[in-house]
């Protein structure tokens, strides 16, 4: 893991996400990223339960105490890593009680850490069945109800395509709330140039909109990672580097 920062920098990346940075000492991760010249951009909250338990429960009624306890741990790790964003995972839940729980927990987290940037991300039901946040309109509603300046939308082009069937239209609808972007081809979740979406137009749209956040490559490489990075050189040549 600690060798991946230098490899990412060599491949041309300027930042890195660590979805679950809880099994390695935070100071070791931060030192490795710093040595490679990379910013740590995003982590997920809460810490995962690899024994089969939920990997998020911000929207699960009755688990408020656990959410707050685990959020505190994620916040400490994010601060140690100087991570720009904390993605707060909703977990599996449904119904009005889950919505109220989600809004209340996010409002608490935003007030607890006003200096931290929080994101929420719709995940498609095919990959994550039962996940509470499966709709971008719902995400917009939640962000507006929470009404905190440090809460924004995380847009993943793979999930957006799977959920809406039109990633570009989805992006254009929610763009003012987007704080972090992830890209991946749909179907298959491989390189962005492997799917049905028009990522070239999407990158031009990002620039035209004034988006100043990170663009993260979140996909499963279809071949050796560096051999699949032609999309980055080809597509981003006409876009503002991030």
> Which residues are marked as active site?
121, 218
Tokens of 84: 């720009």
8 A C-beta contact, residue 171 and residue 202: yes
Q: Report residue 199: phi and psi, to 5°.
A: -70, -25
Name the residue among 178, 186, 200, 193 with its Cα closest to residue 157.
Answer: 186
Tokens of 86: 């904390």
Sign of CA pseudo-dihedral 125, 127, 133, 138 = negative
Name the residue among 78, 80, 167, 161 with its Cα closest to residue 126.
Answer: 161
Burial track 18-38 (b if 16+ CB lie within 10 A, e otherwise): beebbeeebeebbebbeebeb
Q: How far apart are CA 217 and CA 8, in angstroms?
A: 11
Tokens of 188: 């298959």
């Amino acid at each position: 893991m600690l060798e991946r920062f230098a490899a990412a920098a060599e491949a041309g990346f300027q930042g890195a996400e660590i979805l679950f940075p809880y099994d390695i000492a935070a100071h070791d991760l931060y030192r490795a990223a710093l040595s490679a010249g990379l910013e740590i951009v995003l982590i997920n909250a809460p810490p995962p339960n690899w024994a089969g338990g939920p990997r998020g429960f911000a929207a699960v009624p009755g688990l408020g105490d656990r959410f707050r306890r685990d959020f505190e741990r994620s916040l400490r790790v994010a601060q140690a890593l100087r991570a720009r964003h904390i993605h707060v995972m909703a977990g599996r839940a449904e119904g009005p009680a889950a919505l109220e729980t989600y809004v209340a927990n996010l409002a608490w987290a935003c007030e607890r850490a006003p200096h931290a940037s929080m994101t929420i991300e719709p995940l498609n039901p095919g990959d994550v069945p039962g996940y509470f946040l499966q709709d971008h309109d719902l995400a917009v509603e939640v962000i507006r109800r929470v009404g905190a300046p440090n809460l924004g939308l995380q847009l993943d082009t793979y999930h957006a395509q799977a959920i809406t069937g039109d990633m570009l239209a989805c992006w254009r609808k929610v763009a003012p709330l987007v704080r972090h972007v992830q890209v991946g081809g749909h179907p298959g979740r491989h390189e962005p140039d492997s799917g049905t979406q028009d990522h070239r137009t999407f990158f031009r749209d990002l620039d035209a909109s004034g988006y100043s956040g990170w663009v993260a490559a979140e996909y499963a490489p279809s071949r050796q990672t560096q051999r699949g990075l032609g999309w980055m050189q080809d597509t981003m040549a006409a876009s503002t580097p991030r």
